[in-house]
Structure 1
Amino acid sequence: MRRFFQVVVAVLFVSLVFDAEAQVNRRTIKKNNHKMATYRGRKSWFGKEKRYDMLGIGISALNYYGDLSPKPGIFSTDITFTKPAIALSYSHRFGPRYAISASFMYGALKGSDKESADPGDAENGTYRYTRNLSFRNRIKELSVVASIDLFDNSMTYISRVDWTPYVFAGASVFMHNPQAQAPATDLNGNPLPEAGQWIDLRDLGTEGQHSQLLETDVNYGIKPYKNIQLAIPMGIGARFKLNEVMDLSVEWGFRYLFTDYIDDVSRHYVDLGVFGGNELAKAMSYRSNEVATPTYTYVGRDGKSYSVVPGYGSEFKDNNRGSKNDRDIFMVTTFKLTYVLGKSMHRAKFR
């Protein structure tokens, strides 16, 4: 009988021990579950727990605004000359709202007086149509931009917000080289060997950059522009979460340029005689004879006679080839697919 009571006491003791341990375990599990459900990462201004990297590929549409736009307004462009571009980007998110991206973009710009200007518009189109200049320019750009989201992403990258608008701005360096197709003949009606070819305009100095100009010339002191230039990218966008690791972004932005020669047009016409015997330079600098009848003849600096349309192709302070007071810009509309490469965040410690 005594042994029976000893066994009963032992069983009760073991049961109490296991029951106490089970209660402790249940409380621990409940506590950890609560931590897991409510965990949002350590709070900090930069959100260190929300850092991750992204790789993106974008398809863009480029639109040119400048001296060869259909009208003189800053927002005048010919959408039929919208050109494609492709971009690759690498981004790092370093906070709930903040990211920085490095990108490479390759695309093209184009403009044409003859195709864009309205010859019947006496206020804006007639002058531009008669000017008859055109260009294309292939752009290679490296940029670094910072972006700020409107909506705070307080979760990890897997649970980031479904969508958010954002703004961006930064700096870029780009390489450009405006070109135009050579006409069939020179200004004297003789066939040009380069007819139909795309010619690098900078090398010709179409506004007298490589010529010996007099101090009384309107373009005196002009220098060749550089093929490598700086720009300021800025704009707005919206990013949409597709799944745990992929986003789709739509961006609309501008490139503010520090050059007015993206189209090789900026200042005044020069005396065609300053080009000497370079018939190609003369033909690319002044092209109004291709669309209008010349009625004014003058003797150039080289002693030769030149017949031009009045107001074009000769040295005079009012003979504007472009407007140096307004810098060129171009617009970039982008659809970008982004893949999350990884993250760097502190692991949660559940105790």
Structure 2
Amino acid sequence: MKSLLLLICGTAILSGRPVIGQQFYNTWFYNYNWVWEGGAGAGFMNCLTDLGGRKGNGGRFLKDIDWRSTKPAVSAYLTATYKDVLSLKLDHQSGNISAADSVLKRTDPDPGGRYGRNLHFRSRIHEWQLSVETHPLFWKLTDESEIPFWSPYILAGISLFSFDPEAKIGGTWHKLHPLRLEGQGFSEYNGRKPYRRKQLSIPLGVGLRYETGPLFNVKLELSYRILFTDHLDDVSTSYIDATLFATYLDASQAEVAKHLYNRMGEIQPGRSFSVGEQRGSDKNNDAYFSILLKLGYVFRSRVK
């Protein structure tokens, strides 16, 4: 059945024509102008940051995605749809992201590049997303008997998300935001302000919906977030003077910060570096994306 559905979907997309023939509205259920839908989904999240990635100096989106860093994600949503064309959706998503320079050991083991930097992070993402969806196949549809089983859609909106990057020493994970590893808030680095762990983003996405009947549908959805921060992984600029940690942090935090801000020596013992040497790049902001399979229930009234 799974292979058959994939074959039908592929045929519909390649032929450029929707698979049509539903007639359940007039027969079984009322089709009001506005309908409500609720549902849940599961899939995965991944991210694009300064860390990890693929061979070379890195790039944007597909060029630098490391699929090995894929982590699970879940979703729950509520949608109000007008005439099957335009939807307003409130969606809560939660998932994990991570990246590590160590993944480049086999593909790009240059000790002077990202592999030699030897940094890593993980973070939990919680997101509330308000978006608008539109279904192009319904823009000029006038006959309810021609409602397509398969319907592509696009979405855009705004979201509030939270993140909290961590890194590990031995078997213990430490939160990176309080350690200010790149001198955030230090007077010696006046331009580096502490970043906020709750921020806004712009989600953009595409999806494909399959109508299983009048009450249920299945959707496959890709949503990419445009962020306004380069600190999703706590890496953005350059190495600072490590002696300053003792000035701005308590003793235990300063000791942890000295271990985490520069880890090149763990794979290159004795390697020297200078204050101000590049640690990350602030030319491009970080990003994350999700791919979810969703099951929706549509609240309709049955014809009596």
Confirm or deny: 8 A CA contact 1:78 1:116 kept in the other structure: no
TM-score where L is the length of structure 1: 0.70
Confirm or deny: 8 A CA contact 1:114 1:129 kept in the other structure: yes
Q: 1:267 is aligned with what amino acid?
A: T
Alignment-derived partner of residue 52 in structure 1: 35
| SS at 2:41 equivalent | strand
Of stretches 48-57 and 101-110 in structure 1, the one that deviates more from structure 2 is 48-57
Query: For residues 57 and 201 of structure 1, what CA distance do their matches in structure 2 show?
Result: 32
Cα distance per residue 1:98-144 (max 9 Å; x no partner): 1111011110100000124557455xx74111111100010000001
Give, in angstroms, the shift of residue 212 of structure 1. 3.5
How many residue pairs are counted as aligned between the two chains? Answer: 263
Give, in angstroms, the shift of residue 60 of structure 1. 2.3
Q: With a CA cutoff of 8 Å and minimum separation of 6, indicate the structure with the bigger relative contact order.
A: 2
Query: For residues 249 and 200 of structure 1, what CA distance do their matches in structure 2 show?
Result: 36
Confirm or deny: 8 A CA contact 1:67 1:265 kept in the other structure: yes
Query: For residues 119 and 51 of structure 1, what CA distance do their matches in structure 2 show?
Result: 52
Give, in angstroms, the shift of residue 234 of structure 1. 0.5
Q: 2:71 is aligned with what amino acid?
A: K
Query: For residues 197 and 301 of structure 2, what CA distance do their matches in structure 1 show?
Result: 39
Cα distance per residue 1:219-274 (max 9 Å; x no partner): 43201111101111101111001122000001112011111111000011101111
Q: 1:103 is aligned with what amino acid?
A: D
TM-score where L is the length of structure 2: 0.80
Query: For residues 327 and 118 of structure 1, what CA distance do their matches in structure 2 show?
Result: 27
Alignment-derived partner of residue 10 in structure 2: none
Matched, 1:283 2:253: no
| SS at 2:113 equivalent | helix
Aligned-residue sequence identity (percent) comes to 30
Q: What's the C-alpha RMSD, in Å, of the aligned pairs?
A: 2.5
Query: For residues 118 and 225 of structure 1, what CA distance do their matches in structure 2 show?
Result: 33
Alignment-derived partner of residue 248 in structure 1: 218
1:120-159 alignment, distance < 5 Å? 120=108, 122=110, 126-152=112-138, 154=142
Alignment-derived partner of residue 64 in structure 1: 47
Alignment-derived partner of residue 98 in structure 1: 86
Alignment-derived partner of residue 296 in structure 2: 338
| SS at 2:280 equivalent | coil
Matched, 1:202 2:177: yes
Query: For residues 89 and 178 of structure 1, what CA distance do their matches in structure 2 show?
Result: 26
1:137-286 alignment, distance < 5 Å? 137-152=123-138, 154=142, 160-182=147-169, 195-213=170-188, 219-276=189-246, 277=251, 278-286=254-262
Runs of 4 or more, structure 1, over 6 Å off, are none
Query: For residues 333 and 161 of structure 1, what CA distance do their matches in structure 2 show?
Result: 23
Of stretches 264-273 and 48-57 in structure 1, the one that deviates more from structure 2 is 48-57
Query: For residues 343 and 176 of structure 1, what CA distance do their matches in structure 2 show?
Result: 41
Query: Pick from 76, 81, 86: which aligns with 2:69?
Result: 81
Cα distance per residue 1:166-223 (max 9 Å; x no partner): 11000000111000112xxxxxxxxxxxx4211110000010114341xxxxx43201
| SS at 2:257 equivalent | helix
Query: Pick from 298, 315, 338: which aligns with 2:275?
Result: 315
1:23-38 alignment, distance < 5 Å? none
Query: For residues 230 and 69 of structure 1, what CA distance do their matches in structure 2 show?
Result: 24
Unaligned runs of 5+ in 2: 1-22
